[in-house]
Amino acid sequence: MTAQIIDGKLIAQQVRAEVAAKVAERTAAGKRKPTLATVLVGDRPDSAAYVTSKGKACQELGMGSISEHLPADAAQEQVETLVKKLNADPEVNGILVQLPMPAHINEERVLALIDIEKDVDGFSPINIGRLAQKGREPTFVPCTPYGCIYLLEQAGVQIEGANTVVLGRSNIVGMPAALLLIGKNATVTVCHSRTRDLPGIVRQADILIAAIGKTQMVRGDWVKPGAAVIDVGINSVPDATKKSGHRLVGDVHFDEAKEVAGFITPVPGGVGPMTIAMLMKNTLHAAEIQDP
């Protein structure tokens, strides 16, 4: 049996097309276009690339984008002052502070400052708190976990009642993904570096979300036959056949797992495109809240 490939690129394009149509509808009705402000502190090449791609996505969907860049040695107060300024700016619907920030910056304090109605990344303690509470709805859901669940639903995977394993417990992916799955009535086990018999636990999963950041850690014999596998990992490995000298792979050994799983996301082209698509969806939602 070969798994059905969940095409994140195609599904992300569909989400973006829906967002673009709603943006066009809003602007045709005389409303301001939804606008996203990004805050980048320092010069990490990967962070700069992410910020650029987010600005490009806004432009392609008819949305506005504002890019704020502070030097790596910016003081905590400078970052906080900038976030407060963006909170007060009626032209800005969504604020995204690119993580990670330099080590001397207290990220939690910065994220807590973002207005709840502009927290399009979904990382505010209030949004995460609502996500964790039964019967409460967060204003925004963190983009990557949101994309993971969306892919499962679009593929027709049954989440309710499923035994689900989330591999990784980061604040950005693992923990919010686990909370979202619990909210959809899955039975969830969160695994991490100190989990005993990791292969044995993963093997029980009807749904596996791998977000542990270890190259091809999940082997084919870890996967339950017919399981749905969502691979969030992005790892670079040497490849002499590529012009760049390397290629991207996930946290799952794709070639082995696809022979066992029922559904699987590729890397690249799986979860990655969904993160920005869901950010665009969240930014539109922010505009709809602020200017109904």
Q: Which of the residues are catalytic?
A: 54, 98, 121
Residue spans of beta strands (DSSP E) within 59-147: 64-70, 94-97
Q: Dihedrals φ, ψ of 277, to 5°? A: -60, -40
Q: What are phi and psi of 236, to 5 degrees?
A: -100, 130
Question: How far, in Å, CA of 230 to CA of 166, rounded?
Answer: 10
Upstream peptide bond of 100 is cis (omega within 30 degrees of 0): yes
Q: Measure the CA angle with vertex 140, ends 135 and 141; round to 5°.
A: 80
Query: 35 and 285 in contact (C-beta within 8 Å)?
Result: no
CA distances from 203 to 3, 59, 164 (A): 16, 43, 10
